[in-house]
Structure 1
Amino acid sequence: MRKTKYDQTRGLYLPDNVRPQNKGYGEAGASWRKKAVKGFNAPSGSAHEDIDFNNYTMRQRARMLYMAAPIATSAIKTNRTNVVGVGLRLKSRIDREVLGLSPDQAERWQKETEREFSLWASNKRACDATGMNNFYGLQQLALISWLLSGDCIGLIKQYETTRLLPYSLRVHLIESDRIATPNNYGAGTTLYYTTGKNPETGNTIYDGVEVDKNGMVVAYHIRSNYPYELGAPVTEWARVLAYQQSTGLPNVLHVIDTERPDQYRGVSYLAQVIEPLLQLRRYTESELMAAVVESFYTAFIKTEAPTDEMPFNEVDPVPPGEMRNPNEYSMGPGQINVMGPGESVEFANPTHPNGSFDKFAVAISAQVGAALEIPSDLLLKSFNASYSASRAALLEAWKAFKMRREWLADDFCRPCYEVWMSEAVARGRIYAPGFFQNPAIRAAYLGSEWLGPSQGQLDPVKEITAEILACSEGFSTHEQSTIRLNGGQWDSNVEQLRRENEKLGGNPPDPHQSGTGTAAPDGEQDPPEGDDNPHNPETARERGTVALRSLVIGEQIKQTIQGG
């Protein structure tokens, strides 16, 4: 037989003559003989071992940093403000070709549906099982909980309807800590507190998420109270199916960003930066305390006389009836301490303020921001760079904001909209023929876009001019430009402008030109030629400049009126 040898570093039993030599990555990041990486032991297991077993600790630390570290607070709230803002608003986008509707019919159906959805979404008693938030407040809460805890759970509940509350749908958000593996299901597993087996179904439970043999999520195990909650009653467990068996609609909304295959629980957004944030917090507190101590004017009196008398007719700070501790001294503004015979005091003489503090803090914040996909300018709310650099940083940040917005819409907003739509159609409040019969028709009715806060403009003149040119040349629609500029709705703006111009006795303005002009007669007309053609690329810039000048003048008048 060949002589074998156990390689402790690789965990392999291999014959001596076939043991792998240093080839490929063995001479790079996987080398075991280079001094730079020789002591770099990096054990890693499955997603359940690496994530589930450590999630409880990461959640607690992330929440504490959010409550006590300004940079962590800024990271979470910056995402909250830019991803959700005041709320992601429904914009119905049905597939009218599948449904056989004309453009006017489709637009009418979409407006009626948006109005009906707002009836449910804007009322906190109508949508929140706790009655604390409306649907847009629930979005903010779900996002913050998701970022801090790694995931957020929403339970779909049904309440009794009333005359003022015609829908039974309610959403109940719970923290991820309440999704856990029941204690009596953990026997026989390697990770007792997180991984278990359901004896009734034979399914595996990963930190409260039950999956079948194919890896499909089938149920969630929910605690009746928060872990280690003071004064809480005896913990009871509930097994909630992920989807309703009869309708296929979700019972549980799981907002999560997975980073590994076979992962069923999320990781805190701050997980990778917990250590630098903690060290930066400690450093900041030390510098702050040093500056405060240095600002104190404290005197220490050396005397050979008895020290039980107060010098300079001072008021004794010790309340009557309490004993003075002769070994206790304190520092403060104008503080005087009388020392005993033979006692002296000496201070270290550190240089404060520390000139390198700001550079160091900004450097660490830049690394933290890079990991969190937030530029340091935006993380610190300090915009001192050039226009081009600031715009590049803002554009980079908005890639991440838009990505998380779409994730939140997919995991939370659209499932809620689907459940609401099913109830609205079933109750006859929304007319959608074929909704329950044909999945293609159902999907056509459920098409939606969720509009949130816009990116904003660093230089409105340049950016609005660019949008005007994009619309003039067909690179963008007016609706798309309106969403990018202020997150509004172009069709609503047109209607409002029409009413305002009627009150002013004028006509609706041409979106490409300034001035009033005359209303176009009924019927189709050929587009004008030359400079009068709004689609003439040769005069697009000039038209944009004229329109922009009118916009700037109008804004100046508005500010003057408000300032007056």
Structure 2
Amino acid sequence: MNIIDRLIAPFAPGAVAQRLAARRLIQAYEAAKPSRTHKAKGEPHSADLAISLAGKSLREQARWLDENHDLVTGLFDRLEERVVGGAGIGVEPLPLTLDGEVHLEFAAQIKSAWAEWSLRPETSGELSRPQMERLVCRTWLRDGEALAQKLRGRVANYEYKTSIPFALELLEPDYLPLEYNDPSRGILQGVERDAWRRVRRYHLHKSHPGDMQGYYQDTKPVEADRIIHIAYRKRLRQNRGVPLLHAVLIRLAEIKDYEESERVAARISAALAMYIKKGVPDLYTAPKDGAERRSFSIAPGMIFDGLEPGEDVGMINSNRPNPFLEGFRNGQLRAVAAGTRSAYSTVARSYDGTYSAQRQELVESQLGYDQLQHDFVDYWCRPVYREWLSMAIASREIVVPGDVDPLTAYAAVYQGPVMPWINPVHEANAWETLVEAGFSDEAEVARARGRNPQELKRSRAAEIKTNREQGLVFSSDAYHQYYSKQEAPNAQPQDGGAAGTDGSPDGDE
């Protein structure tokens, strides 16, 4: 018992017993008890306070590594490729008629207008939609968050680059000051919320704090419905985002320092260095003032006979490159991959191993990419598409047909990069088996390959029509195989169409 327990024991033994029991219960968890070998560090701060204390430093460190560390640059490049991809997040409109069928004409109208707007969707007109999405994705993962202001309708001193009056002004998270707090107005880290934590306004800087022309503390309030805020959150009730690299920043910085030290050591060791070794110290004669140091010209096959009595030539041995460098570095990169939702092969650019091992790693890493992709769609792509379509309908650039179900006018499928095939033969056979057995359909296969099912159908129909008109027969058209096996050469097909003299249809379906 401690001194407090000993003092109150004569008067309240029951309370002392309860205190001792509670203390033993706490100490039963060894992980909660600090010791010489276990520091038991903890994080008592709230999510918002933790970001206020460390958010700016974490963001700046992540940016510096992205600019100066080749591994980090490659990591974010691959995340761009796997989350957004070269063609951006594909949007396939799926409006339904009142009968529950897909309204193909209205979907095609939306698709055409969306493709045109995607050429210059942001205010400067410098970026296409895929380029914009990749930059936003990189900013979101590297800095922890990204913002965009929605320009709708008439805006003073601005002319839209497309026929639909909607554009996005892209903003780095620096525009939303972490240090701007006003509890009396519900403002925390530049975000104004109500009592239910619903965002009412964002208080943004009028210029970037890091601009060369100076930094002004002036901020302007912007209504929440005009801002898209995509944040990488790790805790409940977290106001601002945290960089993806937050848990591996120290490891990455140390890897960079260690590799730099090894490179310097290897350069020094690569320089040939020799020394003259005297037999005994008594034979050493100090050079006279102004005397030139002895030097020897080295050439292949040379014979050297310039040593004094008792002298010998020694060489500084080189133990670089370090044979353990690669193994140690790879172990560190595995830890980096584990903390960034990535794969070791992706981070290290090492693709050794069997097919099964590569497949297993690809499948597991794809789950992390898919989660980031779904978050990006929820935070960014879906709000952008729905806001754009709303403005397109309001401006009469898109006319909604009367037979479209209003509840489905904004429905769409968002398609990002899919898991690549390691063995195309195995993958294709698996999909074919699923479709034949009825466990999948052609549209799912097309989406899994990154294709729009309707566009694929139209492309296939045009291709088959051209082939039949020109008398071209390929194995991809099972129509020929079916009639060549089931019908006589001059027999009429079951649909009543005419057949050619060679047993194949004449081109009309």
TM-score normalised over the length of structure 2: 0.79
Secondary structure at 1:271 match in 2: coil
Residue 174 (structure 2) pairs with residue 174 (structure 1): no
Question: Kindly tell me: are residues 425 and 347 of structure 1, through their superposed partners in 2, closer, same or farther at Cα, counting changes over 3 Å?
Answer: farther
Q: Is the 8 A contact 1:498 1:507 kept in 2?
A: no
Match of 2:91 in 1: 90
Structure 1 position 499, deviation (Å): 2.5
Pair 1:254–1:310, CA change in 2 (3 A): farther
| Structure 2 Cα separation of the partners of residues 196 and 508 of structure 1 | 74
Amino acid corresponding to residue 440 of structure 2 in structure 1: S
Looking at both structures, which has the greater relative contact order when contacts are Cα pairs under 8 Å and sequence separation is at least 6? 2
Q: Per-residue deviation at 1:356?
A: 1.0
- Alignment partner of 1:464 is 2:428: yes
Given that 1:147 and 1:268 are in contact with CA atoms closer than 8 Å, whether structure 2 keeps it comes out as: yes
Any gaps of 5 or more consecutive residues in structure 2? 6-13, 277-285, 298-313, 484-491, 497-509
The answer to whether residue 141 in structure 2 is matched with residue 147 in structure 1 is yes
Q: How many aligned residue pairs are there?
A: 447
SS at match of 1:77: helix
Query: Which residue, out of 242, 245, 264, partners 1:267?
Result: 242
Question: Structure 1 residues 78, 22: closer, same or farther in 2, change over 3 A?
Answer: farther
Classify 1:462/1:41 alpha carbon distance in 2 versus 1 (closer, same or farther; 3 Å). closer
- Give the letter for the 2:373 counterpart: R
Would the aligned equivalents of 1:4 and 1:15 in 2 still touch at CA under 8 Å?
no
Question: Retained in 2: the 8 A contact 1:482–1:490?
Answer: yes
Specify the SS of the correspondent of 2:22.
Answer: coil
* Aligned CA distance change for structure 1 residues 141 and 15 (closer, same or farther; 3 Å): farther
Deviation at 1:429, TM superposition (A): 2.1
Question: Which amino acid in 2 is paired with 1:27?
Answer: A
Match of 1:536 in 2: none
Match of 2:181 in 1: 195
Q: How far apart are the structure 2 equivalents of 1:72 and 1:84?
A: 18
5+ long unaligned stretches in structure 1: 6-13, 182-192, 244-250, 314-345, 524-564
Distance 1:57 1:309, change over 3 A: same
- The 5 A counterparts of 1:366-445 are 366-432=334-400, 442-445=406-409
Q: Is 1:292–2:267 an aligned residue pair?
A: yes
Q: Aligned to 1:468, what secondary structure does the other structure show?
A: helix
Deviations 1:410-446 (A, max 9, x none): 11111111111111111222222689xxxx9654111
Compared with structure 1, are the counterparts of its residues 93 and 501 closer, same or farther at alpha carbon in structure 2 (3 Å cutoff)? closer
Q: Letter of the aligned partner of 1:90 in structure 2?
A: V
Contact 2:146–2:230 under 8 Å retained in 1: yes
Which aligned pairs between 1:63-462 and structure 2 lie closer than 5 A? 63-86=63-86, 87-94=88-95, 96=96, 99-101=97-99, 103=101, 106-121=103-118, 123-124=119-120, 127-158=121-152, 165-180=162-177, 193=179, 195-197=181-183, 202-232=184-214, 234-243=216-225, 251-297=226-272, 304=288, 306=290, 351-432=319-400, 442-462=406-426
What is the CA-CA distance between 1:234 and the residue it aligns to?
A: 3.1
* C-alpha contact (below 8 Å) 2:342/2:369 kept by paired residues: no
Q: Secondary structure at the match of 1:131?
A: coil
Quick one: distance in 2 between partners of 1:308 and 1:225? 64
How far residue 488 of structure 1 moved from its aligned partner, in angstroms, is 1.4
Q: Secondary structure at the match of 2:221?
A: strand
Deviations 1:300-332 (A, max 9, x none): 89964637999899xxxxxxxxxxxxxxxxxxx
Task: Flag the 1:64–1:490 CA change in 2: closer, same or farther, 3 A.
Answer: same
d(CA) in 2 for partners of 1:205 and 1:469? 57
Deviation at 1:33, TM superposition (A): 6.3
In the alignment, which residue of structure 1 is the partner of 2:8? none
Partners of 1:35 and 1:309 in 2: CA distance: 57
Question: Equivalent pairs: percent with the same residue?
Answer: 20
Q: Deviations over 1:495-545 (max 9, x none)?
A: 32332333333589786959654496549xxxxxxxxxxxxxxxxxxxxxx
Which of 456, 465, 472 matches 1:502? Answer: 465
The separation in 2 between residues aligned to 1:56 and 1:361, in whole angstroms, is: 28
* Aligned partners of 1:203 and 1:213 also within 8 Å: no
| Greater gyration radius | 2
Deviation per residue, 1:95-116 (Å, 9 max, x gap): x2xx40563x612211221111
Structure 1 residue runs of 4 or more that deviate by more than 6 Å after TM superposition:
160-164, 299-302, 307-313, 507-512
Contact 2:446–2:452, Cα closer than 8 Å, also in 1:
yes
Paired residues of 1:151 and 1:176 also in contact (CA < 8 A): yes
State the shift of 1:34 in Å: 5.5
Partners in 1 of 2:442 and 2:72 — Cα distance? 38
Give 1:378 shift: 2.0
Aligned equivalents of 2:472, 2:106: Cα separation in 1: 28
1:466 positional shift: 0.7
Asked if structure 2 preserves the Cα contact closer than 8 Å seen for 1:179 and 1:208, the reply is yes
Aligned with residue 489 of structure 1, among 452, 459, 475: 452
Residues 350 and 221 (structure 1 numbering): CA distance in 2 closer, same or farther, change over 3 Å?
Answer: farther
